[in-house]
Amino acid sequence: MIKRITLSENATDTIINAAVRGYEAPYKEERLGILLGRVSGGIALVKRAVVYRGGERTRTSASVDPYKFELRVNALQEESGLDFLGSFHTHNEINSSFSSALSEADKTPLCDDPPSLIEIIAAIWANNASVRPSRYYFQGSGGGYRYRFAGYDYQRGFRILPIYSRIAC
């Protein structure tokens, strides 16, 4: 059973950069990617996050061809020697509102085989208000943006999982 998610510094950087690039794309786009690492002692340690460039992306959704996605997941597992943990995607602020909650569409995993264990949503918004610390979210700011990462357990009813990063925010 997964009790929490820990992100490596590298994976954190990759997800933040993907969120910023998506936000800065014309009309804003969601970005998504693959999480690789290990589960041990109840901790899902995300060692690598890899942006996935296939599929359709709009400002409120992202979808992929499941077959092509699985091929990419399998190739990455082999190349890295790490396990597939799940995926991440970004949520942009639209009309001054944003959400780090899973939408109904988000409850369909991008990959079934190997199974998705977790999903990370990285919400990003441009705002100068300070970010309050949270027990559940990893939150931070930089380059004029604020972001909030939320982690969900795909195997146990989309329960929210506390998420930490090895990066100082």
> Alpha-carbon distance 18 to 24, whole Å?
10
Instruction: Output the smallest distance, CB 109 to Zn ion, in A.
Output: 12
Give the list of residues 6+ apart from residue 4 with CB closer than 8 angstroms, or none.
Answer: 42, 43, 44, 151, 161, 162, 163, 164
Give 72 or 89: the residue with its C-beta nearer to Zn ion.
Answer: 89
Give the list of residues 6+ apart from residue 34 with CB closer than 8 angstroms, or none.
Answer: 49, 50, 52, 72, 73, 76, 84, 87
Instruction: Output the smallest distance, CB 9 to Zn ion, in A.
Output: 25
Q: Is 119 in the site for Zn ion (CB under 5 A)?
A: no
Instruction: Output the smallest distance, CB 128 to Zn ion, in A.
Output: 25
Which of these, 108, 128, 125, lies nearest to 116 by C-alpha position?
108
Choose which of 106, 116, 125, 150 interacts with Zn ion (CB under 5 A): 106
Which of the stretches 40-48, 106-114, 125-133, 149-157 binds Zn ion when contact is defined by CB under 5 A?
A: 106-114
Give 45 or 125: the residue with its C-beta nearer to Zn ion.
Answer: 125
Binding site for Zn ion (CB under 5 A): 103, 106
